Chain A
Amino acid sequence: ILNVEQSPQSLHVQEGDSTNFTCSFPSSNFYALHWYRWETAKSPEALFVMTLNGDEKKKGRISATLNTKEGYSYLYIKGSQPEDSATYLCALDYTGTASKLTFGTGTRLQVTL
């Protein structure tokens, strides 16, 4: 079983704080690593798809890095806003189909004023 672990499980920050969380995986034998944001009562929304060691992606205040050699990916949020409150899911594609993803349990972020 190729587990995907995310930490922390939950996080509570204040508006304006920068934060980061981790996705860890046991093997570098995957095709891609995905990050999704899932707001309450909405659909999971793709943030990034990363494939290469050293990959860095950025979307507004959110960025992500990938280190396949050491088995982790970081997601960073700069200057957190209440609208960033969501569960952030990491998922690995071990089959190359981009559809059969192995998800972690997520990091639940709450940003308060």
Chain B
Amino acid sequence: DAGVTQSPTHLIKTRGQHVTLRCSPISGHKSVSWYQQVLGQGPQFIFQYYEKEERGRGNFPDRFSARQFPNYSSELNVNALLLGDSALYLCASSRGGANEKLFFGSGTQLSVL
């Protein structure tokens, strides 16, 4: 089975632009979560979606939004990009139960110039 896939792998944008990142979970996984990882820090939680509903939101501004589709794939959208949004964005999937390990994608490296 394919693992968690993310697209694109790299992206360069300029300040003020909008970006959409995509994630396909492992087959059978209904939960998708998004993390932002800045060099030198651990991944920071952004969103979790389960069965197309938002289950949790981290401490990120409203410029960040996400959604989950009926096939459980997900999009992360960021509006009005700032230089500080430059980071690796990781998507993770799981079955959604407690004490389950996360399966991560390889991430999308976003550079904002």
Chain A residues proximal to chain B, CB less than 8 Å: 4, 31-32, 34, 36, 41-46, 49, 51, 89, 91, 93, 95-106
Contacts and interface: CB of A to CB of B under 8 A. Distances in A.
Q: Per DSSP, are chain B's interface residues mostly helix, strand or loop, or mixed?
A: loop
A36 B101 CA distance: 9
A36 B33 CA distance: 16
B64 interface: no
A105 B45 contact: no
Given A91-B42, A103-B42, A97 B98 contact: yes
Interface of B: 3-4, 31, 33, 35, 40-45, 48, 50, 55-56, 58, 90, 92, 94, 96-107
Contact of B102 (A99, A102, A106): A99
A101 B98 CA distance: 12
A32 B43 CA distance: 17
Contact of A100 (B40, B56, B90): B56
Given A42-B106, A105-B42, A99 B101 contact: no
Contacts of B44: 103
Question: Most B CB atoms within 10 A — which of A51, A89, A97?
Answer: A97
A36 B104 CA distance: 10
Contacts of A41: 106
A43 B107 contact: yes
Contacts of B97: 98
Contacts of B35: 103
A100 B33 contact: yes
A99 B98 contact: no
Interface hub of A41, A49, A51 (most chain B Cβ within 10 A): A49
Contact of A49 (B45, B96, B100): B100
Nearest to A9: B40
Nearest to B43: A103
Given A44-B90, A99-B94, A104-B42, A31 B58 contact: no
A89 B42 CA distance: 8
B31 to A, nearest CB: 5
